[in-house]
Each structure stands twice: as C-alpha cells, then as structure tokens.
Amino acid sequence: MAQNRETFGSRFAVVAALAGSAIGLGNIWRFPYLVGEGGGAAFIIIYLLSSIFLALPIFLSESIIGRTTHKGTFGAFNQLAPGTGWKWASLLTVTASLIVVSYYSVVGGWSIDYLAKSLTLSFNTTSADAVGGMFEKMIAAPWIPLLCHTVFLGLTCLIVIGGVKKGIERFAKITTPMLFVLIVLIMIFSVSLPGAGEGVRYMIHPDFSKVTGKVVASAMGQAFFSLSLGVGVILIYSSYMKDDENIFETGFGTAIFDLMFALLAGFAVMPAVFAAGIEPGTGPGLIFSTLPYIFAKMGLTMPWLSAAVSILFFLTILVAALTSSISMVEVVVGCLSEEKGMSRKKATAWVFAVAWVIGCLCSLSFGPLGDVKILGSTIFEACDKLVSNYLMSFGGLLFTIFVGWKMSRKAVRDEFTCGGTQKANCAIFNVVYFLIKFVAPIGIAVIFLTNLFL
C-alpha cells in the first residue's frame, strides 16, 4: 500500500461511509415513486433480486479493483493494465461522477431552501395546489436555487477538503446512523396520519400486471443508482480500506442498509402522499410538493409538532444528499491529486468550479433556460439520463468485465478471500465469480439495450 495514503479507521467507518454514499435522494424520492409505478411489492421483489444478483457483483468488482491497488480509478487501471486503453475508458466513469454531483447538488440545494422554509414556518397554505405552486415557483426563480446549489456544493467540498479520516469518515460516522433515527421518526409520523393506510397498501400490494420490460429495467437501474455503482465511488472508498477488511461483509452490509433505508423512506413518504390525496407518480417534485402540504395542514392545529417534523424531514434529505455528494467529489479529487499531484484543496477547488458551472446550467433549466433542449430533454434531464441510463451501465460493465475477464482468477480470489484466510468468503467465491463474470455483464447489457430501445 502506498505510504501516506489515508485509510478508514475501522469497519464501522467503512460501512458508514459506504452506506452514507448509497443512501441519498435515490432512496427518498426515487424509490417510493418507482415502487408505485412498478406494481408495489412486485417492483420491490425485482429490485431485491437485482440488488443481489446484479448490483452486488458490480459492487464487489469495484471493491476488488480499489482495494487491490489502493488507488483511485485512473491509477488503479493504470497499475493493473499498464499501457492499455482501460485507464482511458475509466476516465469516463470519473467524468460521470462529476456530472452527477453537478445536478445532484441542485436538488440538494432545494432541500436547503425547504429547510429554511420549515425553520421560518413558511408552509402556511392549506391548498395542495398552492404548495405545489410554491415548489414550481422556487425552482424556476433563478437566484435562490442558484444560491442554494452553491451552498450545497460548498458544504460538500468543505467536508472533502477535510480529508478521508477527518472529513469524510468523521462526517459519515455521525450522520449515517442519525439518518436511520430520523427516517424512523418520520415514518411513525407518516403512517399515523389519517388516510395513510392506502399508502401502506400501495407499498406492499404486489401487482404483477404492472411489470413490463421497462419496469424490470428501471428496478435494475434503481439498484444501480442507489448503491452508487459504476462511477468509481465504491472503487475509491474501497481503496481506503485496510487489507484485512472483509470485502464481502462490508459490501453486503452496505446493500442491506441501503435497502432498509429505501423501504423505510417508502413507508415515510407514500402514506403521506395518500393522506394528502396527491398523485404519487409526479417525479422529482413529489416530496417537495406533498409533505409541506401535510405539514401546513397539521400546522393549523399543532404548529410546533408540524414545524418540528418538517425541519427533521428536510434535514434528513439534506444530510442524506450530502453524504452521497461527498463520495462523488472524492472520486474526482482522489484522481486529480493522485495523477496530477495536486493538493487536496486545489483539486477540490477545481471540482467545485466545474460542477458549479454545470449545476448552474441544470438549475436554470427549470426557469430561464427551460427552452434549451438536448435531444428533447432539458439540461437537467439530459444530465440525469446520460448518467443513470448510459454512463453508470458503462461503468458497471467496465468494472465487472475487468475483474471477470482481465484480472487473473487467482488475483481476484486472493483479494476477495484475503489470501484464503477468510473461510466463509472462500466458500462462496465460485458463486460470486460466476456472477461477476457472466450474470452481471449480461444483466447490465440488458438494461442498457432496454434504455436505448424501449
């Protein structure tokens, strides 16, 4: 292992950081609404199967590459396959990370605005339309979302500048467990609302008639996005793991926490959506236009409780988004400082500058730049589609094919079993290797083609 390279201090730190990256906006707004569209529990079953058979092998592939080399994406490929095109291909995954953090921080910024609105008791209208209108107005008005995007990105970069141990690890160790406490509190509140039963039923009723090819692809894609795969996040975090850390246990643990959080978030959001009588399939705006309505209505009779839950809710979203965005920035910072010899501060400043500009364009695409279309999508939608539909699949394919077909079986086995000392990992190695070599690449190719043609 390279000298002076930082590592996470303990297994708890590793899992907190990995789970912190995995748990984010994908769990809180995307998951509940995809569940609704995709036939409730039927979608959850497909999501679960894809997490185990598809996402976990990609996760483990990234982990194996990162931990073997203790390098960031570019350096890792350069070390394992010097003089080949792999390292250039891997740069695309680093670029993907930069694009995700750009538009992710726009949505992260919205949560800052809504946290401020909660603190100033601004949800004081009892018409669902008015609350929806408030959201539309907020994202379209250019200055406030731009300011919030800047603050969110700034906070992210400050944590990253702190370093692996003093920045990322310290933040994740406190906030990841806190997120679970917060989401459980909100879930209890949500399921006890009048009319919430319908939402609970919506979450658990399997309706297989809604399952189409597109739904299967979206469940697989969600498993991908939710576990932060294909953009080098898992690779770089694993490169900060100690050599005797158990790769399978940390990967499996992260997947379980991520899944648990998604389910909790589903039960926190969906019952409230039904209690408010709002259409569940409205996409990114869902949580911003639904929950404030509930808070506003409740505020008429119980203003303090309403304010408290509303603050907790938007704080949860903000913190969940931050623990994810720091991991995206770290991918690029790790690469720049390793390859270009830049200081952490300078590398982070570069990432801030580029992500800020792209993010501003994304933010403005909800207002003044709304008419600028790239292949029929706004700038924000185009960035999201490019990353979630194509670049993440590309990254997943790159990592699994590299581990399954380019690295030697022995090298993979040694890394996965810690030189044969982790007996349980030895026992499952053949199955895992088969999943990495055949099942995952085929599954990813299916998602890719479905997204391209359906």
155 belongs to the binding site for ligand PHE (CB under 6 A): no
Taking CA atoms, 165 is separated from 5, 168, 173, in Å, by 11, 6, 10
Closest CA to 102 of 361, 299, 347, 323: 361
Q: State which residue, 27 or 425, has the beta carbon closest to ligand PHE.
A: 27
Rg, the chain, Cα only: 21
* Residue 30: CB minimum distance to ligand PHE, A: 7
Residue among 13, 19, 20, 24 that touches ligand PHE (CB under 6 A) = 24
DSSP characters for 263-300? Answer: HHHHHHHHHHHHHTT--S--GGGHHHHHHHHHHHHHHT
* Residue 100: CB minimum distance to ligand PHE, A: 5
Detail the DSSP E strand segments found in 138-197: none
26 belongs to the binding site for ligand PHE (CB under 6 A): yes
* Residue 55: CB minimum distance to ligand PHE, A: 11
Q: State which residue, 227 or 412, has the beta carbon closest to ligand PHE.
A: 227
25 belongs to the binding site for ligand PHE (CB under 6 A): yes
Cα–Cα distance for residue pair 61/398, rounded to 1 Å: 10
- Which residues ranging from 319 to 378 are in contact with ligand PHE (CB under 6 A)? 324, 327-328
Distance of CA 179 to the CA centre of its chain: 14
Mask for 170-189, x = binds ligand PHE (CB under 6 A): --------------------
* Residue 62: CB minimum distance to ligand PHE, A: 11
Q: Which residues contact 430 (CB under 8 A, 6 or more apart)?
A: none
93 belongs to the binding site for ligand PHE (CB under 6 A): no
Please report where in the chains the tokens 């509190």 appear, as a residue: 185
100 belongs to the binding site for ligand PHE (CB under 6 A): yes
User: In DSSP terms, which residues pair with 377 in a beta bridge?
Assistant: 374
66 belongs to the binding site for ligand PHE (CB under 6 A): no
Binding part of the chain for ligand PHE, among 18-26, 152-160, 183-191, 211-219 by CB under 6 A, reads 18-26
Cα–Cα distance for residue pair 168/160, rounded to 1 Å: 6
Taking CA atoms, 226 is separated from 116, 285, 317, 320, in Å, by 27, 18, 14, 12
* Residue 263: CB minimum distance to ligand PHE, A: 14
Q: What residues line the site for ligand PHE (CB under 6 A)?
A: 21-22, 24-27, 100, 225-226, 228, 231, 233, 324, 327-328
